[in-house]
Amino acid sequence: MQVIKKVNNNIAICLDNNNKELIAIGKGIGYPKTPYKIDDLSKIERTFYDIEPSYLELINTIPEQVMNVSIKVVDMVRTNIDKPISSNLVFTLADHINFTIKLVKKGMILPAPLKYDIQNLYPKEYELGEKALHIISKDLSVLLPRDEACNIALHFINAQAIDTSSHNNDHIIISDIVDIVSRYFKLYIDKTGFNYSRFVTHLQYLLKNKGDHKNISSVNKSMFKSVTKEYPDTFKCVEKISDYLTHQDIVLSDEEKLYLILHINRLRS
């Protein structure tokens, strides 16, 4: 195996014997000067093919313990779901777990607007989300809210093979929303970057919940008021998005607006 680029001390971009690019994880494989050849393949702990380049930029922002937990959770998912699972799931899930832990430490709770849909329509994925919470609690010594089982399950659902040909209208709506954000903040949005991929993923989740709303919880109602005061410009942008979606027969709840505010702030960071 040929190491062609260091990501960090323990992660590198490599070429296999068929000259196919992959991400390899192994203790110290990023230390030597690249390019170099790894003759002892026992040094490689894990490999991941077909990773989107935009996800590489977030690897160094995620603690190693969180990445290891994500790998363990994805292994569990692969053994319990028959459909192909995207290799990108390890990285998007690790990012979500890391972000959620930071919010919880600040006393914030991510809403789960699709909770009842996921429980009823995707019971297996929801059950795996609950098991993931146990793994996170045990390995990272952090207790996440039970509703996080839904948010994690959404990552499992999104990582399964999807026929995108039937989602053209959703793609148009997503593109329009991204344009609204870009124009409002006079912001250049790098569509090859992970922040963009993360935002689009959330919009896909939002569109799954068209017209089916639950009342905002008392905890998130307080959080919504606080966040709208702290980020008034982002809230105004979300209101523009809400007006646009109303014309698409999609009415956003306060819970969904709260989620959008959080994700747009990440997009702007």
pLDDT tens-place string over residues 2-22: 999 988 888 999 999 899 999
Higher per-residue pLDDT: 166 or 118:
118
Q: What is the rounded average pLDDT for all residues in the chain?
A: 86
Asked if residue 158 has pLDDT above 70, the reply is: yes
> Is residue 28 exposed (0-12), middle (13-18) or buried (19+ Cβ within 10 Å)?
exposed
CATH number for the 64-158 domain, one of 1.10.1790.10, 3.30.465.10, 1.10.10.10, 3.40.47.10?
A: 1.10.1790.10
Which residues are CB-contacts of 55 (< 8 A; sequence separation ≥ 6)?
88, 91, 92, 194, 197
Q: What would the CATH number be for the domain defined by 2-49?
A: 2.30.24.10
Q: Is the pLDDT of residue 163 over 70?
A: no
Kindly report whether the peptide bond that precedes residue 123 is cis, defined as omega within 30 degrees of 0.
Answer: no
Cα–Cα distance between 154 and 118 in angstroms, integer? 8
Lowest mean pLDDT among 87-96, 164-173, 199-208: 164-173
Show the DSSP H helices in the chain as ranges.
Answer: 64-80, 89-105, 115-121, 123-140, 148-158, 168-184, 194-208, 218-230, 232-246, 254-268
Check whether 113 has a pLDDT greater than 90: no
d(CA 88, CA 78): 13
Percent of the chain with pLDDT over 90: 47
Q: Residue 164 — very low, low, confident or very high, per pLDDT cuts 50/70/90?
A: very low
Question: In the predicted model, what is the mean pLDDT of residues 66-83?
Answer: 94
Range 167-268 classified under CATH 2.60.40.420: no
Q: Residue 69 carries which DSSP code? A: H
Domain span(s) for CATH 2.30.24.10 in the chain: 2-49
**Do 36 and 3 touch, CB atoms closer than 8 A?**
yes
Q: What is the pTM of this model?
A: 0.64
Query: Which residues of the chain does CATH 1.10.1790.10 include?
Result: 64-158, 167-268
